[in-house]
């Protein structure tokens, strides 16, 4: 039996994990800004949990969920190869969706790894600053 959580619960869980990671990483200098930015991530975590809910989601469906966000395709090399090694399927390429946080210099990148059949094998995220 597959255990599923409502999207809001999954998003809240991801937000809590993100806030914990911010604290562990030693980002206390701009704590108020980081917390504000973390709350801005909730819509992006909703999209990420939609992608993670369905095994082997086709690339076209991911593009539909992430519509409106610029993306680029990268080969599986360097840091991407390290992340790809943790997924259950073999990654052929990674598509990076750029989710710019409102009123911030930060971007939340959603990395979606696809196999040769253009189906999702894994996801990861990264926060970057302009």
pLDDT reported for residue 89: 85
What is the predicted pLDDT for the residue at 7?
52
pLDDT under 50 in the chain at which residues? 1-2, 5, 24, 26-29, 32
For 92-118, the pLDDT digits (tens) are 999 999 988 777 788 889 999 999 999
pLDDT of 24: 45
| Every domain of the chain and the residues it spans | 7-129
Whole-model pTM?
Answer: 0.71
**Quick check: 47 and 110 in contact, CB under 8 A?**
yes
Would you call 100 helix, strand, or coil by DSSP? Answer: strand
Describe the chain by its helix, strand, coil percentages, rounded to 5: 40, 25, 35
pLDDT the model gives residue 1: 46
């Amino acid at each position: 039996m597959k255990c599923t959580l409502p999207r809001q619960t999954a998003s809240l869980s991801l937000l809590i994990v993100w806030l914990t990671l911010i604290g562990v990483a030693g980002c206390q200098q701009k704590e108020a800004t980081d917390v504000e930015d973390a709350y801005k991530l909730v819509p992006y975590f909703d999209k990420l949990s939609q992608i993670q809910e369905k095994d082997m989601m086709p690339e076209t469906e991911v593009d539909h969920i992430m519509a409106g966000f610029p993306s680029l395709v990268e080969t599986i090399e360097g840091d991407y190869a390290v992340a790809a090694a943790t997924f259950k399927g073999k990654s052929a390429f990674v598509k990076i969706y750029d989710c710019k946080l409102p009123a911030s210099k930060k971007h939340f990148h959603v990395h979606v790894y696809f196999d040769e059949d253009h189906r999702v094998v894994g996801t990861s995220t990264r926060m970057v600053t302009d």
